[in-house]
Amino acid sequence: MTAPAPDHNSDASRISDEKILVLDFGSQYAQLIARRVREQNVYCEIVRHDISVERIAAHNPRGIILSGGPSSVYEEGAPQCDPGIFAMGIPVLGICYGMQLICQAFGGQVKNTSQREYGHAKISISPNEDLFGGLPSETDVWMSHGDQVTNVTESFEPLASTSTCPIAAMRHKELPLYAMQFHPEVTHTPLGFQILRNFVISVCDCEGLWKLHDFAQQTIAEIRERVGDNRVICGLSGGVDSAVVAALLYQAIGPQLSCILVDNGLLRKQEAESVIAEFTKHFKTDLHVVDAKDQFLKELAGITEPQEKRRRIGYQFVECFKAEALKIKDAKFLAQGTLYPDVIESGAALDGPAATIKLHHNVGGLPKELGFELIEPLRDLFKDEVRKLGLELGLPEDLVWRHPFPGPGLAVRCLSDITEEKLSVLREADSIVVSEIKAAGLYRQTSQAFAVLLPVQSVGVMGDARTYENAVAVRCVNTDDFMTATWSYLPYEVLARISTRIINEVKGVNRVCYDISTKPPATIEWE
C-alpha cells in the first residue's frame, strides 16, 4: 500500500484555508457541532471558551460558534468569552448557553423561568434568508434549557419563537451575530443540518474545501516529516481505529513501522488470530504479538469496580507494551488510535471543562517515563470519519465496518469480578450475537452489538432438571457519532435465534435479556 506524494499545490494544502472555530463552554455535544460543520466539507476546530481575540485572529476563522454548556450565565464564575470577539467582524453563532452569552454581552436579560423546555419543541420562524433560508415557517427542534433570553436590546431582532420561549432565535441588526436557544447539532432537530449549513456556507461564505482525502494526504506528509528516520510503534487491538492509524503510518513511513498486539485474554473469540491474519495480509510490517493473558487475569482477580478495572488494565497494558517496545531498536514514537469521543469522555479535551464519564487507557494511562513521543492522527475525528478514512486508505470493508470494541475488552462486559470461566462464557455468547446479526444481514445496519455477562443467577429448567445459572444481556445500538445512541429494533425472530442459541450452546447460561436503554442516560458499554 503506497500513497501518492502530497501535492502541496492542491486543495490538500488549503485544508484549513477556511475554518470554523467552536468555543467550548463545557457542553458534552460541542464535538457534534464540529462534526456537523465538517459534514459541510469545512474544517473545524474546538478551542477553549476563554481564547483571546489575538489567538482567534491567528486562526483566521471564517466563523465562530459558541457551544452550549451546563452553567447559567448570570452565576458567579460562569464561563465567559472575550467580549472583543463580537467586534471582530467575524460571523458568530451562539447556541443555547452561547445565545445567552451574546444577549448578556449586549445588555439583554437572561433569567431562569418556570417554563423550562427539555425535548422536542416547535418553532415559528420569521422570514429570514440567511440563517433560516429554505426552511418552512414552522419546524421541530430540540430544546434543553431552564434559562432563557427574556429581553434583548433594540440592536437585536427575534427570528423564531416557541409557545413558551418568545426569543428562540435572534440576530444583530448590524453585526454578523446570530443565536438560537435550541440545538441544531443533534439529530433530534430534523432540519438542524440545513440551519448549520446556512450559517457555514451562506453567512460565513465557505466553499467546502476540506475532504478526508486531503486530510489523509496532509496527515501522511506531516507524519513523514515529523518521524524522519526514526521508528514508530503502533498498538493494534483488532478494531478499525488502530487499523487506520497503522494504514496512515504504513503509507507514510513503510518499513519504519512496528506493530504490537497485546493479547490480554480479554479479546473477542479468535480476535488475536484474526488480527495476525489481517495484518500479515494487508501490511508487510514488523508485527509483535505478546501473550499476556495470565498477567491481566492476575491483575484483575477479585476486582469489581469498573473504573478500577480500567485503571488496572491500562497499567498492565503499559507494562506489557513497554517491555515489548524496549526490544524494538530506534523506536522514538508511539502511535495510538485516540478519537474525539475518547478524549471528551475522559475529560481531556481543552484541559477539560467536561465531566469525566470513564477512563480510557489510551488517553489517560500512559506515563511520561514511557519515553515515546505520541502520535495521535485520529484525535480530532469521529468514528464515521475514521471509517471513511479507512476506505480512502484502501482497507478492506470487513475491517473498516467492524463494530467498535472497547480498549479494556471483555472486562467491561463481564460485570463483577473477572475469571477465565466467565470470560469463556461471555466470549461464546458474544460470538453468537454477532454471527446471528450478520446472518440476518443487519450487521452494517447496526452500529455496535455484543453480549454482557451479568452478575446474576436465576432459576431455570433444562430438561427435567432445575437450574440456577447466569443471565446474559444483549446490547445492540444504532448511532451516527457514538455520543448519543438508540437501541436497535431487531426483528423478534433474530432475537429469538440469539436467545435460543446462547441458552442451548453456552454452558452456564439459562436466561437472555435485551437491553432497550438509550444513550443518554445509559452508556453504550455497561461499565
Tell me which of 3.40.50.620, 2.30.42.10, 3.30.470.10, 3.90.950.20 is the CATH number of domain 212-400: 3.40.50.620
CATH 3.40.50.880 occupies which residues in the chain?
A: 15-203
CATH 3.30.300.10 occupies which residues in the chain?
413-514
Tell me the pLDDT tens digit for each residue of 376-432. 999 878 888 899 999 999 888 888 898 988 889 999 999 999 999 999 999 999 999
> CA 410, 416, 417, 420: dihedral to nearest 10 degrees?
-40
pLDDT of residue 15: 60
Q: Which residues of 83-111 are buried (b: 16+ CB within 10 A; e: fewer)?
A: eebbebebbbbbbbbbbbbbbbbbebebe
pLDDT tens-digit profile of 128-161?
A: 788 999 999 999 998 876 778 888 889 999 999 9
pLDDT at 6: 36
User: Which residues of the chain have a pLDDT value below 70?
Assistant: 1-16, 114-118, 145, 282-283, 340-341, 343-370, 464
pLDDT value for 84: 95
pLDDT for the residue 359: 46
Class of the CATH-defined domain 15-203: alpha beta
Whether pTM > 0.85 for this model: the answer is no
Cα–Cα separations (whole angstroms), residue 48 to 255, 347, 349: 38, 13, 9
Residues of the chain within CATH 3.40.50.620 domain(s) are 212-400
Among 85, 43, 42, residue whose Cα is nearest residue 64: 85
Cα separation, 344 vs 276, whole angstroms: 31
| Domain covering 413-514, topology | GMP Synthetase; Chain A, domain 3 (3.30.300)
Which pLDDT value is given to residue 368?
58
pLDDT for res 346: 59
**Four-residue CA torsion sign, 496, 501, 506, 508:** positive
What integer pLDDT is reported at residue 356 of this predicted model?
43
**Which positions are annotated as active-site residues?**
96, 183, 185
Cβ count within 10 A of residue 53: 15
Q: Which residues contact residue 325 at a Cβ distance below 8 angstroms, ignoring those fewer than 6 apart? A: 233, 260, 331, 334, 372
The pLDDT value given to residue 20? 96
The predicted structure's pLDDT at residue 351: 36
